[in-house]
Structure 1
Amino acid sequence: MRSWIVGALAPVWALVMVVATALLGSWMLEQVVAIDAKGNPLDPIGLVAYTIVPFGLLLLLLLAWVRFVEKRGADAIGFTGPGKLRTFGVGYAIGLASMLGLVAAIWACGGFIVAGPATAVSSPFSLLVIVALAFSLALQSSVEELLFRGWLLTVLSKRFNAVAGVIVSSALFTLLHFSRSHNLLDFTALFLFGVFCCCWTIRSGNVLGPMGWHSGWNWLLAVGFGLPLSGIDVHIPSLLVSLETVGERWLTGGAQGPESSVLCVGYFLAGVALLLRRQPRG
């Protein structure tokens, strides 16, 4: 009975950790960072700050909980295995290639047109921000993976089973990215994002690959093409090419960006199918 209660309360505690650190971090930053009506930063420096402070607080709280309450180490939440940096780097490269392929596929289907060349290379400030975002988005993405796939998935899988862990952790991940502007395709893509990362974590026996993939995926989308990152305009010139959205929302993702494209849903479904065909490790 006690095991069942602990498992049932894990999603609640994950929600509390995210909300508490987000509120505290936002309160600290809104004193110095300009934000829009949706609470999103209005400039790239603000985005860097918003990916460091709240998620840095969340990381500290999560590690403190695991270390001092659960009496476990970081290896218990998926930060384990040999060649950690290499595993993260491989995941990062896959994330970069996946995002590049997704954007190219949408462009090939007529969803994007080239609006102009990349202009970030001519602006030292933009290049500095792009480098800073590589580190700050890696922190944000890695903390999300440690919480949802490293900790919550593990707790739920042990208390119940892996299927329950995948479904509940992915559902909570989707809920915490909720926006009133989302439609069914947006929610489907978010949920499958979580399922894909869960399957990868289970398959590999650690969370390092998904951490790297999520980091590379977010960074290239944020800086590469002048497209929205989960509905957020990064407000910097593009690093690779400047694209303009001209296709239907189901194809391009509209204001939410390529992550809400039907092609992205197809990518996640194919990735999950591939991972489920392989024997899990550990």
Structure 2
Amino acid sequence: MINLAATPGSLLRVIGFLIAWAGCWLPIAIPLFVARDQSKTLAAQKLPLLASLYLIAPIVLWKVSQITNRNFLDYGVVWNFAILRSLGEGLAIAVLSIAILFAIQTLLGWVNWQQISPKQIMSVVLPTLVLALWVSATEELIFRGFMLTQMQQDYPLWLAAIISSGIFAGLHLVWEQRETVPQLPGLWLMGMVLVLARVIDNGSLGLAWGLHSGWVWAIASIDTTQVLAYTQKVPDWITGKHNKPLAGILGIILLMATAGLLLVMGNW
């Protein structure tokens, strides 16, 4: 059995938040799950479930923060021009990194681009940007904001980063197991890079939010428009299993290169 008395208080608070979050979400999620279209996969219909989960997250976190005598400012949410500037920088870095990643694969003949109309592109890109900003803001508030800050009360930064990034990666299994398992190392490393972004940004979530949003926006837009097709000239462990960049060595290199750039930006 788990000895609660020996469990660090920060970890108990994180577990308590996750239980409260799930407890508030399940009464909404269960009817949505029951009413889903049985002819479609759960992954294809996850948007209503995800939307309901992420809508209640800030409310639950606000109540937990009241109990723990914290506020969103402690978690890196600083509403000023600086956070918007950092958001923009993060978006630019993330989108540029994805562009470089696929430009290299294109030159090597590992991917082909399909021709689609500008109208088709715009119908996907703009809504996807809004969704990416919202989802990423919520996840950064929870994982690099609340969880990291809480765990730093009992653990050094490096260990708090490892644990919070592990939780971040593991919770992605809620939606898709088959495609997510190969991405777990990449998702964990992504969490670590986003922790570094918060540190470089003097505790603000702006840069991490921008990076996260940019990556989600770029990859989701490519997936939705189906503008890109892999040629299968190299094994998928290089380009990404199930066509997911984080499940391949190139995605790992991209994250490591981003970490290097962040260290340069922070003059480390």
TM-score by length of 2: 0.82
Alignment partner, residue 257 of structure 1: 244
Tell me by how many angstroms 1:81 deviates. 6.9
Counterpart Cα distance in 2 of 1:35 and 1:194 = 34
- Counterpart Cα distance in 2 of 1:12 and 1:94: 33
The equivalent residue for 1:55 is: 54
Provide the identity percentage: 21
Write out per-residue CA displacement over residues 29-81 of structure 1, whole angstroms, 9 at most, x where no aligned residue: 44665477752135xxx63x444322111122112322x21232211111127
2:17·2:60 contact (CA, 8 Å) conserved in 1? no
Q: CA, structure 1 residues 245+279, in 2 after alignment: closer, same or farther (shift >3 Å)? A: closer
Equivalent pair of 2:151/2:160 in contact (CA under 8 Å): yes
Deviations 1:82-131 (A, max 9, x none): 422222122122222122222223333333122x2123x334xx744542
Find the aligned partners of 1:153 and 1:35 in 2 and give their Cα distance: 38
- The CA distance in 2 between the partners of 1:262 and 1:129, in whole Å, is 28
Higher helix share: 2
Residues 154 and 36 of structure 1, relative CA distance in 2, 3 Å threshold: farther
Q: Distance in 1 between matches of 2:243 and 2:265?
A: 32
Partner of residue 122, structure 1: 119
Q: 1:266 to 1:197 in 2, by over 3 A?
A: same
2:127 is the alignment partner of 1:132: yes
**Structure 1 residues 98 and 33: alpha-carbon distance in aligned structure 2, compared to 1, 3 A threshold:** farther
Change (3 A) 1:163 1:38: farther
Separation in structure 2 between the aligned mates of residue 267 and residue 122 of structure 1, nearest angstrom: 30
Q: Residue 184 of structure 2 is aligned with which of 172, 184, 187?
A: 187
* Structure-1 residue corresponding to 2:220: 222
Contact 2:179 2:242 in 1 (8 A): no
Q: Structure 1 residues 94, 38: closer, same or farther in 2, change over 3 A?
A: same
- The residue identity in structure 2 corresponding to 1:103 is F
Q: Secondary structure at the match of 1:99?
A: helix
| Distance across 2 between alignment mates of 1:187 and 1:270 | 19
Alignment of 1:100-111 (within 5 A): 100-111=99-110
Residues 152, 169 of structure 1: 8 Å contact kept: yes
Retained in 2: the 8 A contact 1:89–1:212? yes
Unaligned runs of 5+ in 2: none
Work out the CA distance in 2 between the residues paired with 1:184 and 1:52: 23
Question: Which shifted more, 75-84 or 133-142?
Answer: 75-84
Once residues 71 and 106 of structure 1 are traced to their aligned partners in structure 2, the CA distance between those partners, rounded to angstroms, is: 49
User: In the TM superposition, what whole-angstrom CA distance separates every residue of 1:137-185 from its partner, at most 9, and x where no partner exists?
Assistant: 2111111111110111111112221011111001111111135425875
Alignment size in residue pairs: 259
Map 1:90-169 onto structure 2 (within 5 A).
90-114=89-113, 116-119=114-117, 121-123=118-120, 127-169=122-164
Choose the corresponding residue for 2:166, options 153, 168, 171: 171
CA RMSD of aligned residues (A): 3.1
Provide closer, same or farther for how the CA distance between residues 17 and 246 of structure 1 changes in structure 2, counting only shifts above 3 A. Answer: farther
Structure 1 stretches of 5 or more lacking a match? 228-233
Aligned amino acid, residue 244 of structure 1: A
Native 8 Å contact 1:150 1:207 kept in 2: yes
Counterpart code for 1:5: P
Q: Match of 1:269?
A: 256
**Partners of 2:240 and 2:251 within 8 A in 1:** no
Contact 1:157 1:165 in 2 (8 A): yes
TM-score normalised by structure 1 residue count:
0.78
Conserved 8 A contact 1:113-1:243:
yes
How many Å separate the matches in 1 of 2:144 and 2:244? 24
1:202 and 2:216 aligned = no
Return closer, same or farther for 1:170/1:150 CA change in 2, 3 Å cut-off. same
Q: Cα–Cα, structure 1 residues 170 and 21, in superposed 2: closer, same or farther, change >3 Å?
A: farther
- Relative distance call for 1:31 and 1:135 in structure 2 (3 A) is farther
Matched to 1:167, the amino acid is I
